[in-house]
Structure 1
Amino acid sequence: MAQTSFIETGQGRRLAYHRSEGQGPWLVFLGGLKSDMQGTKALFLEDWARRAGRAFLRFDYSGHGESSGSFGEGAIGDWAEDTREIVTALTDGAILPIGSSMGGWQALLLARAMPERIAGVVTIAAAPDFTEDGYWANFSAEQKAQLESVGQVELPSDYMEPYVISKRMIEDGRRQLVLRGPLELPFPVRFLQGTADTAVSTATALRLLDHAEGPDLHLRLVKDADHRFSDERCLSLITGAIEEVLAATG
């Protein structure tokens, strides 16, 4: 496997990445909360892109994987900064973000920040606004009081150690919301969502589809697929969605 490279951002964060040249638009994989660029989907898509001769970038947000920083000190806006900086520094021309879970939110933030660079978007179990609609909305009065007094709460995870959710993450998340105002996506978009996903509901996927505006938006619900969306069938659906977007861009 190729050696990890690093880039220093304008905010002083050291981000780890793997980058392979090829035909554009650049495929940029955006991972989920507490995930890293060594996950099944990221590695599979890198290999697929290399075999197809496609330009590909995967990286770790600050506080994730091999990048600098502590997860507990990070927030949605920090990771959006990381995404914009690394995309600007390491890619040129059109980009096609492929966002998984929290990375789906990041893909939408990227599309809002630099729409002129976006050829299309693919999301997998996208989780826009989850700090507000998933965490804050479901916190008990005790958890909200703890967040205020201690500055953080711990939430169990089905996939790893508990998430430490800080007061800063909740407050910063409110500045990054995409489902409260216009969400213009004037390019091909494919949303993928498993019906057996216990982390992101089909209702969230339908809300996103209903809220977003664009000429070519499609949601594919996959029966019995879970949040990982990483078995052979699901990986094939991801590459199929990418190919659809690429074909639509000409």
Structure 2
Amino acid sequence: MSLFTARPERMALANGVSLAYHRNPGIGPGVMFLGGFTSDMTGIKATTLEQWCQKRGQAFVRFDYSGHGASSGQFAEGTIGGWAAEAITVLDRLTEGPQLLVGSSMGAWLMLLVALARPERIAGLLGLACAADFTDYLLWERLDDRLRDRLQRDRVITLPSSYGEPYIIALNLIEEAKQHQLLNRPELPIRCPVRLIHGMGDADVPWRISVQVAEKLSSPDTRLILVKDGEHTLSRESDLRLLTRTLGEMLAG
């Protein structure tokens, strides 16, 4: 059976949600991929990394948050804190030893929250189009008064997406996310190596968000890589080569 058509394994959580995941054994530090908002673990970045890690014999895990992909749960009930807690559970239960987290878009926000919660487990962080605090500037601030009124009345609305299915936006997602905002903090006490890759042509998450995150990180080993013609998904062949090359450099120390 093909690596990418194999059925995912499942992990039951205490709240009854079942998370779907793929885990490949190998040498450490392991690599753990955290996907973006509405994305799933079958995307090109996740599968490229899995194939790359398999060729190296590197341990690798990819998974779907609740309400995403093959995992159970309702998307509209998801929150930043809940998805971060799920990522921490994946780290705790499905990995051993130091891990290098790769986070895409929302996943890069979550990887920072995981690193703050489990600093002793994190060997490094690699963020792509880091969307820290996106619930403010991508969701709430982009709604006009009519949509804000509707969201506050109905609690859930749908918005068109450039990436396929419409976005389901829940008021609870926006309100709960305020507890996990990072850009308003004076410092992010993360001291492991960090690499942030961001496309300057990103029409969704401004590349200056990654600059702000880099400025707040405590780690002196922090580098920001800007891709002049890069867009939000960073999924072109050249982007994927940059991703694996940067990951390889981090793993080599």
Q: Show structure 1 runs of 4+ deviating over 3 A.
A: none
Q: Report what 1:219 is aligned to.
A: 224
Structure 1 residues not aligned, in runs of 5+ = none
Alignment-derived partner of residue 188 in structure 1: 193
Gaps of 5+ in 2: none
Corresponding position: 1:162 with 2:171: no
Report the alpha carbon displacement of residue 192 of structure 1 after superposing the two structures with TM. Answer: 0.4
State whether structure 2 residue 77 is matched by structure 1 residue 81. no
Residues 1-250 of structure 1 aligned to structure 2 (within 5 Å) = 1=2, 2-181=6-185, 182-248=187-253
Question: Which amino acid in structure 2 is aligned with residue 172 of structure 1?
Answer: E
| Matched positions, count | 248
* SS at 1:218 equivalent: strand
- 2:223 and 2:105 map into 1 onto residues whose CA distance is 17
Q: 1:37: how far off?
A: 0.5
1:1-55 deviation per Cα after TM superposition (whole angstroms, max 9, x unaligned): 3331000012221000000000111100000011000000111100000001100
CA drift at 1:154: 2.2
TM-score (ref. length: structure 2): 0.95
Residue 72 of structure 1, CA deviation: 1.3
Matched position secondary structure for 1:170: helix
CA distance in 1, matches of 2:134, 2:171: 14
CA distance in 1, matches of 2:119, 2:184: 19
Q: Distance in 2 between matches of 1:77 and 1:127?
A: 15
- Secondary structure at the aligned position of 1:199 is classed as coil
Aligned to 2:242, what secondary structure does the other structure show?
helix
Could you give the per-residue CA deviations for residues 182-210 of structure 1, whole angstroms, max 9, x where no partner exists? Answer: 21220110000111211111121222222
Cα offset, 1:137, TM superposition:
2.4
CA distance in 1, matches of 2:22, 2:176: 28
C-alpha separation between the residues in 1 aligned to 2:38 and 2:68?
Answer: 6
Partner AA of 1:235 in structure 2: L
Q: Distance in 2 between matches of 1:139 and 1:90?
A: 39
Q: TM-score, structure 1 length as denominator?
A: 0.96
2:129–2:210 Cα contact (<8 Å) kept: yes
Give, in whole Å, the separation in 1 of the partners of 2:156 and 2:204: 20
Match of 1:174, SS?
helix
